[in-house]
Amino acid sequence: SRERQQELIDEDVTEYMQEGMTYEAALAKTLEETLPAGHSEHETGLSLDILCSGNTQMDLTQANEPGNRWLVEHCAEYGFILRYPKDKENITGIAFEPWHFRYVGKEAAQFMSSRGLTLEEFFIILKNPL
């Protein structure tokens, strides 16, 4: 919910401020990984966070979990993409999140996966077909 999203933002901002950051710097750092309330893809019902049962930490260690590696390799078969892949932060505007998956449909997911595209890059292709 929007309320929960705002709670997550507030918690992270408070944590960064306790480490010595200003409010503005803490908010900017938080928004690198967490979208503002009302902007989360989770609100659409198309995105979800998937954590491995042996590691329920929502952090970069998920990328090394065998279950996560399998999911990244096979998610397109089920119509999902890894929404915020590594080395695509400059395109998505969001830091790498190995746990965040989005449903786009099988055909789109397989197209995007086979070409290493983010959702943003896919939308560009849709707007400007060859």
pLDDT by residue (tens digit) across 37-93? 888 788 788 999 999 989 999 899 999 999 999 999 999 999 999 999 999 999 998
Both structure tokens of 36: 């503002």
Q: What is the DSSP string of 12-24?
A: HHHHHHHTT--HH
pTM for this predicted structure: 0.78
The one catalytic residue among 97, 107, 120, 121: 97
Is the CB of residue 5 less than 8 Å from the CB of residue 40?
Answer: yes
pLDDT tens digits, 88-127: 999 998 889 999 999 999 999 999 999 999 999 999 988 8
Q: Name the DSSP class of 116.
A: T
Whether 97 sits among the annotated catalytic residues: the reply is yes
